[in-house]
Amino acid sequence: MGAGFAVGCMAAVVGVCVVGGGIAYWAGSRVGLLPGLSSAGSGLGAMALWLLVLVLVAAGHVAVSVWAWRTRPGTAATVLTQVPHAAVYVGAVAWWSATWSAGYLLWAYATLSAVAGWTVWYLRAPTVARRAVIYLSALGLVIAVNTAGILSLSWQRTNGFGLRGQATPWAAFTALTATSCLTRHPFYTDGANTIPANCPAGRNSDFYAADYDEAGFADTLCAEQPRQAFSKWWDWNRQYQVSFTLDWAKSDTTVDGQPVGPPYPETIDGNTATIEYVLTIENVSTIDADRKHQMRTEQDNETWTVQFQPVTLGGWKVCRIDIANPITATFTPQ
C-alpha cells in the first residue's frame, strides 16, 4: 500500500507539472515572453516544444511502468510497453543535431504506443479468432492514419509534388531563378520549407556544364516558353566556359490589373499577374575554366516582363517571359 501510494503521488506530481508547465507556457506566449508553439521551428519555441514532448512522454512512461508493476503482464508485454519510450528518448537526443520538429517525436510515440498496446492486448489470448481480427483491423487503421499523415505532410512540403504553384507570383519567380542556378542565393520556398536548389557545388563540380535544377525548374512552369529566357545564359556558360551570376530587380507588379506594392503579401489570389524585372549581370567568372573566354557587351541589363497564372490545385506558376532590349555579347579566347 505504501509503495502504491508513493507511485501514485509521483504520477500526480508529474501530471501537475505537465498541466502547470503547459499553462505557464501558454501564459508566457500570450504576453510575448515566449514564442507560441506555431513558431516552434527554431530557437526558444523549438526548445519549449521539445521539453513539452519529453514531459508528456515521461508522464506516459510513469503510467505504463505503474501498470506493469501492478499487473505483472509478463516479460514480452513489459518490453513492448517500454519500447516506445526508449525510442523517443533516443530520438530526443538525436533532435539536437537535426532540423525536424520535436512534434514528430510525439507522433512516433503515439504510433508506437498504439501498436504496443494492441499487441499486448492480443497476446493475452492469441488463439481467439475474433481478437485476431480486431488486432489486425487496429493495425490496419494505424497504418492508414500514418500513411495519410505522411502523404499530407509530403503534399504540403513539396507543393503537391510539383502540381501546386507558389503562394504568390513573386515567390514563383524566385523559385524559377533559384532553380536556374544563375543567382547568388539559390534558395526558394517548396511548400512548407525553404530549400536550396539542386545546383553544382564543391570543388569537384563542373560549373561550365550549364547544369541546373531541372526538376525544380520544370515544377515552376506552366508552359515551356519561359525556359528560352534562360537558355542564352546556359548556352554561353557551356560554349565559352563563362559562369554567370545574375540579379533580378522587381519593379511594376500587377495582379488582375491592379498594382501591388510593398509590403508584399505572403499569399495572394487572382486570375493573372504580371511583373517587370530588370536583369543585371552581377558577376562573370572563368575560374578553373579549361578554355577561358573574355566577354564583351555594350549593356549589362535587360528588362523581363513575366506573366503568371494560377494552377488548378492552387498557387502560381510562370507562364511567359518577354524580354526587351536583350543583352548581346561577344566572346574571344584568352
* DSSP result, 2-22: HHHHHHHHHHHHHHHHHHHHH
Residue 84, CA atoms < 13 Å, CB-side half-sphere: 28
Residue type, 255: V
Same domain (yes/no): 18, 121: yes
- Cα dihedral 177, 182, 185, 186 in deg (nearest 10): 60
Do 103 and 180 share a domain, yes or no? no
pLDDT of amino acid 33: 47
Q: Same domain for 327 and 202?
A: yes
Do 173 and 117 belong together in one domain? no
Residue that is last in its domain, among 129, 153, 183: 129
Same domain? For 290 and 201 the reply is yes
pLDDT under 50 in the chain at which residues?
2-3, 6-7, 9, 13, 30-40
Assess whether 43 and 185 both reside in one domain: no
Residues 118 and 243 placed together within one structural domain of the fold = no
Domain that holds residue 236: 169-333
Q: What distance in Å separates the CA atoms of residue 268 and residue 258, rounded to the nearest whole number?
A: 12
Decide which of 97, 129, 161 is a domain's last residue. 129
Same domain, 208 and 111: no
Contact of 235 with 180, CB cutoff 8 Å: no
Q: How many structural domains does the chain have?
A: 2
10 in a domain, yes or no? yes
* Residue 107: φ, ψ to 5°: -60, -50
Nearest to residue 320, comparing CAs of 330, 306, 331?
306
Structural domain includes residue 138: no
User: Residue 212: what pLDDT?
Assistant: 95
At 232 the pLDDT is: 96
**Does one domain contain both 174 and 253?**
yes
Check whether residue 297 and residue 184 sit in a common domain: yes
What is the predicted pLDDT for the residue at 31?
Answer: 44
Q: How far apart are CA 123 and CA 318, in angstroms?
A: 57
